[in-house]
Amino acid sequence: MQQTDLPVITARGTDVVALLSTEHEGLRASFAQATCPTEGAVRRYEVLKFARLLVRHITGEQCVVYPVVARIAGGDEFRSEMLRQERELATYLARLLRRLAWHPGGRGLQRRIHCFSELLEHHLTYEARSLLPILLALESEQKRQLMGTWLCRAEALASPRPHPHGPQRPAGLLTIGLAIGIVDRLRNAGSLAARGADVSRSQDGV
């Protein structure tokens, strides 16, 4: 599986709200494709592609969008809820990847897929109804276009690699290592987002 198999976001100067909305639909379509009834190895490959897209999307938001959210009244609580949802997604996705690696035909797989699908839809809907309106209200069109460029650049650096402490068996190295890497990537990005917001508030004299 080569990294070049992933869709590459190449838009520059596109409104960040439009980019995020497009990514939401792309994530829904990617996960639907990944969970179609199919042979185990094919499904695992599609879920890995989806996982990389999700990490790119979330990391881009944490680096570019959350500092804007931190400026509003109640921004800390809103950002904390977003991070909580993302950690929950990462945890369930890691479990799903492990199940696909070791027990692709085992009982309970469909339940895990359904559970993650509901979490994903809740998160994307929450963003569409809460996060995107904030960006539209706070930032000018020119600033949102600049943020779109920053988002693309942040996402280009966000794709995870297999974790060095993952299992070394060939069947598990990519899948389990990536699962651990997803959790680490989101945890690290969330910490950076929180520190960046604290710096921003201190500079504003908050």
Structure tokens at 47: 């879920």
- With H, G, I as helix, E, B as strand and everything else as coil, classify residue 61: helix
**pLDDT by residue for the chain (206 residues), tens digit each?**
334 343 344 444 689 999 999 999 999 999 998 888 666 677 778 888 898 888 889 889 988 998 888 888 888 889 889 989 988 888 888 888 877 777 766 677 888 888 999 999 999 999 999 999 999 999 999 999 999 999 999 888 875 554 344 333 433 334 445 555 665 655 555 555 445 444 444 444 43
Q: Which conformational region is residue 37 in: left (phi greater than 0), alpha (psi within -120 to 50 degrees), or beta?
A: beta
Amino acid at 75: G
Identify the CA nearest to 8 among candidates 55, 53, 74: 53
State whether the Cα torsion 147-153-156-160 is positive or negative: negative
CA distance 163 to 14: 33
pTM of the model: 0.73
Tokens 């950690």 sit on residue: 87
Domains of the chain by start residue, with CATH: 3-203 (1.20.120)
* Contact in structure between 53 and 152 (CB atoms under 8 Å): no
